[in-house]
Amino acid sequence: KNQVEQSPQSLIILEGKNCTLQCNYTVSPFSNLRWYKQDTGRGPVSLTIMTFSENTKSNGRYTATLDADTKQSSLHITASQLSDSASYICVVSEGNEKLTFGTGTRLTIIP
């Protein structure tokens, strides 16, 4: 069964600090992996998309890594801001219409 597991489930850090969120997956076949940011009560917004051949991709203060051999991905947030408080969802695609979603990491940035 295809699964995406994320850790930690929740995280609280001080404003300005860095953090790393983890994603492990068992989806096969693998096409691409995405990280989404979801503010409370809003729809998810894409941060990065990585294919099998890409092992890192950045979007401003967000940097995603992918190790397709170990089926792991991470999302690193640098110099966190209050607006980074949200849920971060790891999503893996088989290359068709179906995506497998993780349950997300709830990140809270405190001043």
Give the interface with other proteins as residue ranges (CB under 8 A): 4, 31-32, 34, 36, 41-46, 49, 51, 89, 93, 95-99, 101-104
Shortest Å, Cβ 97 to other proteins: 5
Token code pair at residue 26 = 């068992």
Is 70 or 98 the residue whose CB approaches other proteins more closely?
Answer: 98
Is 65 or 93 the residue whose CB approaches other proteins more closely?
Answer: 93
Is 14 or 45 the residue whose CB approaches other proteins more closely?
Answer: 45
Nearest to 77 by CA among 68, 89, 64: 64
